[in-house]
Amino acid sequence: MKKIPVLLIGCGGVGRQLLQHIVSCRSLHAKMGVYLRVVGVCDSKSLVAPMDVLKEELSDELLSEVCRIKSTGSSLLKLDALEKGGYRVFNDSESRRETEEIAKLLGKSTGLAVVDCSASMETIEVLMKAVDLSCCIVLANKKPLTSTLEHYDKLVSHPRLIRHESTVGAGLPVIASLNRIISSGDPVHSIVGSLSGTLGYVMSELEDGKPLSQVVQAAKTLGYTEPDPRDDLGGMDVARKALILVRLLGKRIVMDSIKIESLYPEEMGPGLMSVDDFLYNGIVKLDQNIEERVKRASSNGCVLRYVCVIEGSSVQVGIREVQKDSPLGRLRGSDNIVEIYSRCYKEQPLVIQGAGAGNDTTAAGVLADIIDLQDLFP
């Protein structure tokens, strides 16, 4: 049985779902000759690890308890009160040092997969040290790959040791497909993608004549948006995904060079207007403009979609009119879609479409990435 030690950073919705997938897939992975040995789980304030990371692991029972505790919003420090043996819990001041120690112990011996399912920039320092220690890196967190070019270059300096399929399109095979095209020598000319489940839902609902304010309020009620919907409506999440794709194509691009169209003006920003004020007073003022754009697009046989467009070194993120009968135009609900145009896919693009959001789908993509690394472990 090939054993892969796993250190998980981030125990929010995706991280918890990943742990549940690891436990539920034990029999499947056993048939594949693979065993995932979880040697540490971190949240923003603490770390839980076995007494001896070289020989021991966190039990499936403990992983289930970790998921239960984190689902209530509590810290992993609460595990200390359970007084069960076989593991240690480190507080905020100790957890980073111990995380690096685990990477040192396992990185150069059995190997280690450091899995970042957080949404934080603060993991970058740990990831940089993990790269130095020849650890494998698996990312659902987009922020390390969209940081400075110096950080990016180091993360991808050993391409065989990094996987990040779930950073773009959740579990959709966008990164893998693009890598195969690049490896074949087929030059990519452009990429067009609807990469936000939230904005995809909003745009397809606008087609039915509903006002923007009503659609956003409904999306928030359904749990499709962040607690502050402006985190979605500002377009930054789509811009990060676009930056990951354009950097994968070898372009030396930084975030400031991406043109981003926000669906709300600066004067309605988080620092100037509360969430409730925005939802019930501010966004209503945007209804007429969006309604006029929807009607104008319809008169041209088009619909509106919030997309990223990559052409050469140019990256633009915002609302575009697309033909109603095109793959993008037919997109409904919260699905993601990516169209890749290259020499081989010139007239008819390679189209990748499916569920592009959700903890379950994203965690499944992360798990597949970990398993894909199995040949690198002894």
Active site residues: 241
Query: Rounded to an integer, what distance in angstroms lies between the CA atom of residue 179 and that of residue 280?
Result: 44
61 assigned to a ligand binding site: no
142 assigned to a ligand binding site: yes
Query: Rounded to an integer, what distance in angstroms lies between the CA atom of residue 293 and that of residue 348?
Result: 28
12 assigned to a ligand binding site: yes
338 assigned to a ligand binding site: no
13 assigned to a ligand binding site: yes
67 assigned to a ligand binding site: no
Q: Where are the alpha helices (DSSP H) in 158-266?
A: 174-183, 197-206, 212-221, 230-233, 236-248
How many Cβ atoms sit within 10 Å of the Cβ of residue 367?
23
Sign of CA dihedral 107, 248, 322, 352: negative
Beta strand extents in the chain (DSSP E only): 2-9, 34-42, 47-50, 87-90, 113-116, 136-139, 162-163, 188-194, 259-260, 302-311, 314-323, 335-342, 350-355
CA distances from 265 to 14, 36, 234, 278 (A): 31, 47, 9, 11
Binding residues for NADPH: 142
Binding residues for L-homoserine: 226
